[in-house]
């Protein structure tokens, strides 16, 4: 039996008026239950990583991934109800992979720089370190860090260290040598093909200077600021819901002490920075 035209219009108006109330109730329930992002975050979060930067990103003897980045990433995935899938790749290829949607995020100690922010988005800050130049203890650079003319300085390609060295040291006569991996930089530093290497202080200390390979080497010159805003998770600019979920997870980790507990597995200081 068909309703008269006027009652049908009234019924439709009543239904439309009720929709915002129902939607608000649903969102309120989701937020209260901690699942506000459950239908906007991928069930599997593919995170690109270059595991050549211990103690941030490294491989265990059994081939599994480990490090500060990895522990933070796994905890973030747990809090946003996603499964972490770690995708290994060279650091220089992580942004192209993100843009091509081969991964959903970059979790590999990527510095938040003005140049990168023109291309991708970032989560809120995860940590922040200074950078240092490493050279042999008896090298000319150890005596005068400004004696760059004719020196070969190794950097990993695609990093902020590459940009800094080309901007500040290449004009002074240094030859900036780019490598696909940090391991290759260390190898050529040890064999004498390089006079120095520029990288993050923590990665240089834990990943090289404290190892047998780093015997006879040391930091030269003082800590260097790359002008970045710390490190974060690289994301696509249109993945705003994912960014909101990750930022909320990072904030909650900082607030409830989880971040500090993870950090103490690796460091005797607060890596978050200023």
* Cα gap 207→186, rounded to integer Å: 10
Q: Which domain holds residue 70?
A: 44-128+229-263
Closest listed residue to residue 87, CA positions, set 234, 252, 240: 234
Beta strands in the chain (DSSP E): 44-49, 58-59, 65-66, 83-88, 105-111, 121-122, 131-136, 152-156, 175-179, 196-200, 217-224, 231-235
pLDDT tens for each residue of 185-213: 999 999 999 999 999 999 999 999 999 99
234 and 123 within one domain? yes
At 269, give phi and psi (nearest 5°): -145, 170
238 and 217 within one domain? no
Residue 11 falls within a domain, yes or no? no
pLDDT tens for each residue of 143-169: 999 999 999 999 999 999 999 999 999
Domain count for the chain, please give it. 2
pLDDT tens for each residue of 67-86: 999 999 999 999 999 999 99
Residue 10 falls within a domain, yes or no? no
pLDDT tens for each residue of 130-149: 999 999 999 999 999 999 99
213 and 172 within one domain? yes
Question: Which residues on adjacent β-strands are paired with residue 122?
Answer: 234
What is the CA angle 208-265-83, rounded to 5? Answer: 100
Residue 35 falls within a domain, yes or no? no
82 and 70 within one domain? yes
pLDDT of residue 19: 35
Q: What is the pTM of this model?
A: 0.78
Residue 270 falls within a domain, yes or no? no
Look at residue 11 and tell me whether its pLDDT is greater than 90: no
26: Cβ contacts below 8 Å, ≥ 6 apart: none
Compute the residue count for the chain: 274
Q: Provide the CATH number for the domain around residue 178.
A: 3.40.190.10
117 and 65 within one domain? yes
Residue 8 falls within a domain, yes or no? no
């Amino acid at each position: 039996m068909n309703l008269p035209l006027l009652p049908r219009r009234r019924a439709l108006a009543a239904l439309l008026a009720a929709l915002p109330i129902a939607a608000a109730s649903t969102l309120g329930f989701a937020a209260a239950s901690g699942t506000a992002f459950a239908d906007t975050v991928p069930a599997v979060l593919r995170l690109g990583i270059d595991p050549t930067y211990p103690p941030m990103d490294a491989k265990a003897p059994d081939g599994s991934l480990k490090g500060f980045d990895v522990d933070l990433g796994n905890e973030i995935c747990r809090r946003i109800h996603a499964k972490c899938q770690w995708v290994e790749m060279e650091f220089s290829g992580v942004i192209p992979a993100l843009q091509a949607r081969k991964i959903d995020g970059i979790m590999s100690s990527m510095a938040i720089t003005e140049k990168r922010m023109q291309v991708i988005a970032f989560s809120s800050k995860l940590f922040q370190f200074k950078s240092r130049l490493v050279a042999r203890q008896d090298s000319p650079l150890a005596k005068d860090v400004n004696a760059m003319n004719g020196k070969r300085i190794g950097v990993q390609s695609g990093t902020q260290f590459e940009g800094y060295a080309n901007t500040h040291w290449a004009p002074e006569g240094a030859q900036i040598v780019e490598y696909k991996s940090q391991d290759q930089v260390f190898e050529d530093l040890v064999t004498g093909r390089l006079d120095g290497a520029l990288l993050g202080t923590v990665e240089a200390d834990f990943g090289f200077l404290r190892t047998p390979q780093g015997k006879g080497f040391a930091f030269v010159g003082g800590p260097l600021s790359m002008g970045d805003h710390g490190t974060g998770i690289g994301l696509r600019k249109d993945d705003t819901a994912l960014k909101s979920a990750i930022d909320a997870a990072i904030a909650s980790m900082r607030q409830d002490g989880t971040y500090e507990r993870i950090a103490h597995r690796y460091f005797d200081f607060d890596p978050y920075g200023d």
